[in-house]
Amino acid sequence: MIRRYVQVNDVHLSDQAPRGRTASYLDDVLAKLDWCARYAASLDATLVITGDLFHRKNAAHTTHRTVQRVREVLDLAPLVYIVPGNHDAAYGGGLDGQPLRSVLSERVSLLDGAADDSYIAGVPWDNAFEREGGAATLAAAITAAARPLVFAHAPLTLTPFPFGPEAAGWIEVAEVASRILGRGPGEVVRLVAHGHMHKQQAVQHYAFEDRALTFSNPGALSRATVAADDVEREPAVAVITYDTERLAVEVRYEMVPHRPAAEVLLVAEHAADVQRDGRVEALSRALLQSYAEVVDEQALHELLATLTRPEEIPEDSWQRGLLLAGAAIDGKVLP
């Protein structure tokens, strides 16, 4: 029998557009999520969202209208599982009062531990299991459930971790690493599909003794920053196919239709912000280097007065250095 799953990472829905995005952010991301749900339906696949469906922890920043729109979109998929991410949980942990709790229904379920689907298990952010009662159950949730496909928000790390040291440490799996590939019948994990790291990573097949483990991270569905990764990256989902007879996993990434980066990312504005931040940093450094000379109010007044008369500043004066820093910052000599 063939089972199919469509993995979506880090949707980060928000009524308020993040810095660096146009005001159409919510509509843009919802349109991509809509496509993902319809695509899952076309494959008769289960949609699995591996964390951070919403962006704001404070439920007051997510309107009822937005929650309703999300529910309508998710209802387009045959079945939906959501692994709670760090942005989905309240400060201090838990989902009470959070938008994620409001989108759950008969067809949309949390994936934290073993699911009704007998092939998948979920590992929420920081091991904050809702049903199993705590991080101590992480090993049991993965191994005793005997699920071959594990969906996590943060990477489950092994040594060496195939994606490099920048991913290590997001989740403590010291007690799980020896079990995650299993030792007994039915305990072998074939796939770890995760999110949290927004940059897309190639599908990795990791050999461990006589067993194999596949890692999947198609990258964030949202493009919430103007960093090079988001400007150049094309949002994608992972199509995961599991052959229950051969116990074989196949993963391919499918690009999600989206608007060009130039239409949704404030690239020019971001460049101006970076330039301004550089000026502020330069001025701050200059002030830090000279603060010892400003010992009282009179000295400060003298400094300000001197800066208005650059021709009177001695060549070897620290005020001259500060003025030159100001000139470099503004591209001109202060009046």
Q: Identify the DSSP state of 13.
A: B
Q: Look at residue 329 in the predicted model and tell me its pLDDT.
A: 45
Instruction: Give the separation between CA 67 and CA 65, rounded to whole angstroms.
Output: 5
Same domain, 227 and 99: yes
Q: Look at residue 166 in the predicted model and tell me its pLDDT.
A: 43
Instruction: Give the separation between CA 261 and CA 105, rounded to whole angstroms.
Output: 34
Is residue 99 in some structural domain?
Answer: yes
Give the residue from 264, 288, 322 where a domain finishes: 264
Token representation of residue 127: 């091991």
Same domain, 170 and 313: no
Q: State the residue range of the domain holding 250.
A: 2-264
What averages of pLDDT result for each successive group of 10 residues across the chain (335 residues)?
A: 96 86 91 98 98 81 91 96 89 82 92 86 68 46 69 68 42 43 56 88 74 86 73 91 92 94 74 62 58 52 55 56 51 40
- In one letter, which amino acid is 48? V
- Cα angle value 202/52/173 (rounded, 5°): 65
Instruction: Give the separation between CA 121 and CA 91, rounded to whole angstroms.
Output: 24
Is residue 335 in some structural domain?
Answer: no
Same domain, 124 and 215: yes
Q: Identify the DSSP state of 217.
A: E
Per DSSP, the three-state class of 208 is strand
Q: Look at residue 162 in the predicted model and tell me its pLDDT.
A: 44
Same domain, 277 and 250: no
Is residue 187 in some structural domain?
Answer: yes
Give the residue from 212, 243, 264 where a domain finishes: 264
For the chain, how many structural domains are there in total? 2
Same domain, 29 and 176: yes
Same domain, 283 and 258: no
Per DSSP, the three-state class of 150 is strand
Q: Look at residue 94 in the predicted model and tell me its pLDDT.
A: 78
Same domain, 185 and 316: no
Domain containing 27 — which CATH number?
A: 3.60.21.10
Q: Look at residue 160 in the predicted model and tell me its pLDDT.
A: 42
Q: Identify the DSSP state of 220.
A: B
Token representation of residue 120: 């998948």
Is residue 238 in some structural domain?
Answer: yes
Instruction: Give the separation between CA 258 and CA 281, rounded to whole angstroms.
Output: 36
Same domain, 231 and 307: no
How far apart, in Å, are the Cα atoms of 290 and each of 106, 231, 257, 321? 65, 39, 53, 9
Same domain, 274 and 234: no
Same domain, 295 and 181: no
SS (H, E, C) 240-297: EEEECCCCEEEEEEEECCCCCHHHHECHHHHHHHHHHHHHHHHHHHHHHHHHHHCCCH
Instruction: Give the separation between CA 23 and CA 293, rounded to whole angstroms.
Output: 46
Same domain, 281 and 215: no
Instruction: Give the separation between CA 13 and CA 307, rounded to whole angstroms.
Output: 48
| All residues at 6 or more sequence positions from 209 whose CB lies less than 8 Å from its CB, including other chains | 181
Pairing of strands 149-152, 191-194: parallel
| All residues at 6 or more sequence positions from 303 whose CB lies less than 8 Å from its CB, including other chains | 293, 294, 319, 322
Is residue 83 in some structural domain?
Answer: yes
Give the residue from 207, 237, 264 where a domain finishes: 264
Same domain, 213 and 323: no
How far apart, in Å, are the Cα atoms of 57 and each of 53, 61, 160, 184, 205? 11, 8, 33, 40, 34
Pairing of strands 2-8, 46-49: parallel
